[in-house]
Amino acid sequence: MKSQTVQRIYKMLKPQKKAIIIISILAIIINVGEVIKPYLIKVVIDNFLSEGIWQKGVMTIGIIGSIYIAIVLVGNILDFIVSTATSMMGENVIYSIRNKLYKYVQYANIPFHDRTPSGTLFVRITSDVEDITTFFKDVITTFIKDIVMIIALAVMMVSLDYKLALVCFLIIPIVAITSTIITKISNNVREYSKKVKTKVNIFLAESIYGVKLIKIFNRQYEKEKECEKLCTRYLKSRIPTAFTEGLLVAMMLIFENLGVSIIIWASVNHLFGINLNVGVIYIFITYLKQIFEPINRIVENFETIQEAMVSINKIYDILDHKEYLENFEEGIELEEIQGKIEFKNVWFAYEGENWILKDVSFTIEPGKSIALVGRTGSGKTTIINLINRFYEIQKGEILLDGINIKQINLRSLRKKIGVILQDPFIFAKTIKENIELNENLTDETIMETLRLSSAEEFVNSLPNGIEEIAHERGTSFSAGQKQLLAFARIFAHNPSIFILDEATANIDTKTEELIQKSIDKISKEKTSIFIAHRLSTIVNVDKIIVLNNGEIIEQGSHNELVQNPNGYYSKLYNAYYSNLTQ
Amino acid sequence: MKKAIIDSLKKYKWKILLQIIFIGINIYLLTYPAKIVGNIVDMLYNLNENKQEILNNTYYLIGICIVLLIIRIIWKYFEIYINRAVERDLKTNLFERFLKLKLKDIQNIKNGEIMSYFVKDIMEIRNIVYRILSHGVRIVFTFVIAVYQMIQGVNLSLTIAVMGPILIGCYLVIKIKKYVEISFKKSQERFTEMSEYIQESTDSIRTTKAYSCEGEQLKEFIRKNRKVRQSNNTVDVYSNLLTMCLNICFGICYSISLLYGSKLVIDGVITVGELVTFNGYIGLFVNPVNWIPGLISRFKRAQIAYKRLDKIYELEIEKINTKSNINKEKLEGNITVQNLNFNYPGVIDKALENINIELNKGETLGIIGTIGSGKTTLMNLLTRLYSIPNGKILIDGKDINEIPIDVLRNNICYITQDNFLFSSSLKDNISLFKDDYKEDEIKESTKKAVVYEDIQKMPEGINTVIGERGGDLSGGQKQRVAISRAFLKESSILIFDDTFSALDNRTSEKLIENIQDLSDKKTCIIISNKVSDVKYSDKIIVLDNGNIVEKGTHEELIKNNGIYSEFYNQQSTKAEPSFLA
């Protein structure tokens, strides 16, 4: 365990300090009760039963029995309180770490998300946190309890007869070692069979997904054979667990009775001068049995602790990187803006000196529109990601209405910019919530935005209208419909700057017309930037910016650019048309 | 379903019997350590006389433990073997059944749902088989053997006195366990809900940032997280309550044995050793009592799972000869469609209306139409993935309902539009797991599908294993791998359903050329919404809303000035994505 990990655990547990202290104290009380119980029986056997009497002085077996019942009741009720408090404490730790992680993910910048796949983040917040749950809910406190228990039992045994106790202790390391080895083997077996199981499941999932393919190619027989083969492999992978599962329990039984035998041998043969009466032998046997449970548990938990350490470090490796967090607090709050955008000698690289944009300068006047044209990788998408500060530029400056966007409050800046991506994200919420996003709008406003974006007809055709809940990631809608909803978002939020990454996917003609209508409406009044694929869009903008390898090679209106016969754009344009007429 | 379970259990009847016998022996022997320790305790009072006897007893004790070790491992072997073998049999049986179901039924069920039949429901059945054979048998044996030993070896009235709290314990445990189960289910639901939310949030981060709704997302998450915490706490309270009740019941058992047992010892009815033995017997009940509620609740869950699975078994299956003796009958490939109408089950709107097609061997048919116009539906009917009345589709003049399904599908090679690939090698994906093809043949087919060079560039060529759902290949590459199957399979009818959408013009032209070469001897159907893909076909039909609205050759249709020519003009003005993108 590295000291860093210990520090991290300490940090997580610090708010729970009081709870831990109280739990530990109660745990000690419970354990003392557990240790006293066999002692009471010893007293009964040695002091009463051996003489065949019910009462001795003021003491009777009845009183001892009552104490026994009292310990049972109080001990178990206390135990209930302790374990409930412990789990709640664990839940609190988990709850707050999960919130922290989620918050981090939300506030981390795009470069962070670029290098961290969303699947990894999902695993961190769900299963990695789950992995530490057992650690905080059970292990930490049972660990305290178990150690206290072992010590208490050991103390009792030593005080009853230190020689016999020492003989008994010899067996403890053997138990711990055996238990460790078997647990280790058993974990390896399990790990392997888990892998086989995953294979079976992948096979099944794929067969279900590809059932049409299997049918039309008549491959039922081949697939059935494969299924049986995989399942048999899984069956075989489980067989060794019979050995490990059987062995662990049986070995503990052997050790337990070996311990019992040792106690009896020692007493019978008066080894080391041990000479005990029946009650003491009984209590030794009971204590020995009692001591096995915490030892085994500690061994088992060892694995859990290691796993938890790994997960804790994974989680904090994310949380400790504060440099990825975006700052939403500082900066100038924008009021009404004109929408003038200027790029002044902008240089940008995702990493190092690998420049994606090289000395890019251009201006978009308020209310005007531009189209970015160029091959994949020429830097078009990068430009739109810089305007809303998904990435920070290295050299030069980007100005909005003459203010450097680095000085503008991030939230305020992004509210002024409306972006529609190629494949707009639709949340698994109602249509209404999908359009509102972070604002509260009336149903009328929503309907109005749907009308403006020509999505009214399609939304009205849904069974629940604007209250219809979209499927996961909007799979129930076509690409075109998703675009229409994205336009409705733009109308609802009324940004001053509009950015559209035109879809290349096949969209049917009718929807495409509707989308065109929305584009026309928006670009008439807002500063608009298009990553254009369609000629009609390109021809209609005020300015075309042609990019090649991160440099602007031409800019101007369509008419201007086609004038220059040697220009990149006019070559593209002419080649395209001659291709068509062939 | 019932038959599948019974068949599987019958297969292992001797193993099951042996398992039960070994469990019996195991439990019988488990009562011995307590008995021996009791004996020893009694003998300790007369240590000097019984010294040898005591030592012998300790040897017995260890001997019995070693025997128990062996028996336990054998029994566990049977237990795990039967348990997992039943699981395998049921899974394979269900899988066989599933592959024969009609597509219309399969598509009515979500993929995740089908998966849960295989994973969750089969697990429930397996689990109850395990619990009955293992826990159930052990509960019965423990109660019978331990109670017998208590009465026989110690004392009847003490036994009765102690059985009271044990039975109360059983009752309480069953009662409380119900709440544990209910609250656990709820907490799982909430966790799933939260997981889905996290998944969505991590996927939507750009949209969230663009609209600055990080704060709202966080608030919603905290709400869901709090709900998870709360329901987890409820589960913990109930399960701790359960443990407490159980422990108190057994604690009272020991108290009774201490009080009443001591009295019996003083009265000379039993010895101290017998009392010690008795306490040992009480310990034997702890696990079985704990198992009872699990057995009950699992039984209920298994019943639900059984009913769900039975629904699958009640569905009609296709009559397909899947075994190796495949009917090698050949079809020529003349297709006739006569006045075909079709509705998807439960849908009022006609998917296809009054379709008439005449297509002869060696001809190519182009079908063009927008999404939802009925193109794929028509192909689904041709391959009998959905059933139609007699006399509507004929192949070589024979009604397709009279052609055995396997013969029909062996003669049609239908490349679907979802370019789905299995996470196996490319070779397996092209041959589709049939070993009959030589590697050269497969390579040849990839050359014709214009994907050979792409495959050569991959680390292990044709043996490269594809990441799940074809993750390592581009859309275009996946399409071409799928198309390779058409060049490999010896079939008389080829269908390409929108399989060129992700290819650039040059590649798709080359592919269509290769297809044309092949189609002199074969009947070929090309479906697309790009005019360029179908314009060389012998016949072209335009589908709209399930109707054939135009019919003819490319030139005829252009002159016609209908939908087809409109498509043609539109597609000309739309810039070539690969050009400007």
pLDDT at A478 over 90: no
Determine, for residues A257 and B62 on separate chains, whether the beta-carbon distance falls below 8 Å: yes
Structure tokens that stand for B226 in this block: 């709090």
What the block records as the tokens of B330 is 């050949």
* pLDDT tens-digit series, residues A549-560: 889 998 898 888
Chain B partners of A206 at a C-beta cutoff of 8 Å? 422-423, 468-469
Under 8 Å between Cβ of A517 and A347:
no
**Mean pLDDT, residues B59-80:** 92
SS3 (DSSP) at B524? strand
Contact B258 A264 (CB under 8 A): no
> Nearest CA to CA, how far is A184 from chain B (Å)?
18
Q: Which of B37, B205, B214 sits opposite A285 (nearest CB)?
A: B37
Residue type, B402: E
Lowest mean pLDDT across A436-445, B193-202, B266-275, B340-349: B340-349
If pLDDT is split at 50, 70 and 90, which confidence band does B577 have?
very low
Mutate to test the interface with A, among B202, B484, B495 (most CBs of A within 10 A): B202
pLDDT at res. A120: 85
B98 pLDDT band (50/70/90 cuts)? very high
Across the interface, do B201 and A493 touch by the CB < 8 Å criterion?
Answer: no
The pLDDT value recorded for residue B7 is: 92
Interface contact A204-B96, CB threshold 8 A? no
Grade residue B244 by pLDDT with cuts at 50, 70 and 90: very high
The CA–CA distances, whole Å, from A1 to A308, A454, B136 equal 11, 61, 44
pLDDT for B105 beyond 50: yes
Residue type (1 letter), B560: N
Chains A, B: CB contacts under 8 A, how many?
A: 380
Higher-pLDDT residue of A351 and B364 is B364
Mark yes or no for CB contact A219/B434 under 8 Å. yes
Q: Considering CB atoms only, which of B37, B275, B410 is closest to A260?
A: B37
Cβ pair A438:B216 closer than 8 A: yes
**DSSP class of A128:** I
The band of A564, judged by pLDDT with boundaries at 50, 70 and 90, is: confident
Record: contact A264-B58, CB cut-off 8 A: yes
Q: In the predicted model, what is the mean pLDDT of chain A?
A: 85
- By CB neighbour count within 10 A (0-12 exposed, 13-18 middle, 19+ buried), where does B328 fall? exposed
Is 90 exceeded by the pLDDT of residue B54?
A: no
Q: Which of A83, A200, A268 to mutate to test the interface with B (most CBs of B within 10 A)?
A: A268
Query: DSSP of B5-43, one letter per residue?
Result: HHHHHHHTHHHHHHHHHHHHHHHHHHHHHHHHHHHHHHH
Judge whether B430 and B442 are in contact, CB under 8 Å.
yes
Q: How far is CA B542 from CA A528, B6, B337, B418, in A?
A: 38, 54, 15, 22
8 A C-beta contact, residue B373 and residue B546: yes
Model ipTM? 0.83
Each as own residue / partner, the long-range contacts of residues A558-564 (CB below 8 Å, 24 or more positions apart, any chain) are: none
Over residues B510-533, the mean pLDDT reads 84
* Alpha-helical segments (H) within B315-425: 375-382, 405-411
Task: Kindly determine whether residue A73 and residue B251, on different chains, have CB atoms separated by under 8 Å.
Answer: yes
| Least CB–CB distance from B232: residue in A91, A472, A576 | A91
- Res B170 pLDDT > 50: yes
Angle of the B47-100 helix axis to the B286-314 helix axis, nearest 10: 10
On the question of pLDDT at A250 being above 80, the answer is: yes
Q: Which residues make Cβ contacts (< 8 Å) with residue A572, sequence separation at least 6?
A: A373, B579, B580
What are the strands, taking DSSP E only, across A520-582?
527-531, 543-548, 551-556
Q: What is the mean pLDDT of residues A353-380?
A: 87
For the cut 70, the answer to whether the pLDDT of residue B352 exceeds it is: yes
**Are B258 and A532 an interchain contact pair (Cβ–Cβ within 8 Å)?**
no
Tokens 């790009």: give the residue. B530
Radius of gyration of chain A (CA): 37
Q: Rounded to whole angstroms, how far apart are CA atoms A64 and A39?
A: 10
Q: Is the C-alpha dihedral spanning B221, B227, B228, B230 positive or negative?
A: positive
Assess whether pLDDT exceeds 70 at residue A581: no
Candidates A74, A93, A71, A75; CA nearest to A19 is: A93
Q: Which of B55, B85, B195 sits opposite A235 (nearest CB)?
A: B85
DSSP state of A270: T
Mean pLDDT of A553-577: 82
A311 within 8 A of A133, measured Cβ to Cβ: no
Task: Give dist(CA A286, CA A135) in Å, integer.
Answer: 29
CA atoms within 13 A on the CB side of A133: 18
- Give the Cα separation of A500 and A383 in Å (integer): 12
pLDDT at B22: 94
pLDDT value for A235: 92
Other beta carbons within 10 angstroms of residue A475's beta carbon come to 11
pLDDT of residue B25: 94
CA–CA distance, A238 with B80 (Å, rounded to integer): 7
Domains along chain A with CATH numbers? 1-160 (1.20.1560.10), 341-581 (3.40.50.300)
- Give the tokens for residue B261: 């047992």
Measured distance CA(A215)–CA(A224) in Å, rounded? 12
For residue B539, the distance in angstroms to the closest alpha carbon of chain A comes to 22
**pLDDT band per the 50, 70, 90 thresholds, residue B469:** very low
Indicate the range of A302-311, A445-454, B320-329 predicted with least confidence: B320-329
Name every chain B residue with its beta carbon within 8 A of the beta carbon of A427. Answer: 200, 204
Which residues of chain A make contact with B572, given a CB cutoff of 8 A? 580
pLDDT at A374: 81
**Per-residue pLDDT at B322:** 56
CB contact under 8 A, B410 and A218: yes
Cβ-based contacts of A110 with chain B (< 8 Å): 205-206, 209
Share of chain A above pLDDT 70, in %: 95
Q: What is the pTM for the complete model shown?
A: 0.76
Yes or no, beta carbons of B420 and A105 under 8 Å apart: no
Q: Which of A14-18, A100-104, A436-440 has the lowest mean pLDDT?
A: A436-440
For strands A341-349 and A59-60, give the pairing: unpaired
CA distance linking residue B503 with residue B97, whole number of Å: 37
Whether the predicted pLDDT of A123 surpasses 70 = yes
d(CA A59, CA A532): 97
CA A262 from centre of chain = 52
The predicted pLDDT at position B116 comes to 87
pLDDT of the residue at A503:
67
Encode pLDDT of B353-406 as tens digits: 889 999 988 889 999 887 778 888 899 899 888 888 888 899 998 898 888 888
Distance from CA of A579 to the nearest CA of B (A): 10
pLDDT at residue B230 tops 90: yes
* B470 pLDDT more than 70: no
Rounded to the nearest angstrom, the minimum Cα separation between B226 and chain A is 7
- Pick the residue with more confidence: A223 or B489? A223
Select from B93, B207, B277 the residue whose CB has the most chain A CBs within 10 Å, as the one to mutate to test that interface: B207
Pairing of strands A395-400, A355-364: unpaired
* Interface probe with B: pick from A211, A529, A570, most Cβ of B within 10 Å: A211
Q: Smallest CA–CA separation between A2 and chain B, in Å?
A: 30
- Residue A479: strand, helix, or coil: helix
How many angstroms separate the CA atoms of B250 and A504, rounded? 71
Q: What are phi and psi of B448, to 5 degrees?
A: -65, -30
Q: pLDDT band for position A504 (50/70/90)? A: low
Task: Considering only the beta carbons, identify the residue of A65, A285, A411 that sits closest to B255.
Answer: A65
| Local confidence band at B573 (pLDDT 50, 70, 90 cut-offs) | low
Q: Residue B88: its chain A contacts at CB < 8 A?
A: 228, 231-232, 234-235
Q: What is the DSSP letter of A44?
A: I
Residue A578: which pLDDT band, with cuts at 50, 70 and 90? low
Residue A95 distance to chain B (closest CA, Å): 7
User: Which residue from A76, A227, A242 is facing B76, i.e. has the nearest CB?
Assistant: A242
What letters, b where the CB count within 10 A reaches 16 and e where it falls short, cover B158-187? bbebbeebbeebbebbbebbebbbebbebb
Chain A closest-CA separation from residue B143 CA (Å): 21
pLDDT-based confidence at A518, cuts 50/70/90?
confident
Residue B580's pLDDT band (cuts 50, 70, 90)? very low
Closest CB from B81, B237, B276 relative to A282: B276
Q: Which chain B residues are closer than 8 Å to A76 by Cβ?
A: 244, 247-248, 251
Report in angstroms the alpha-carbon separations of B160 from B258, B287, B295, B431.
Answer: 14, 20, 25, 71
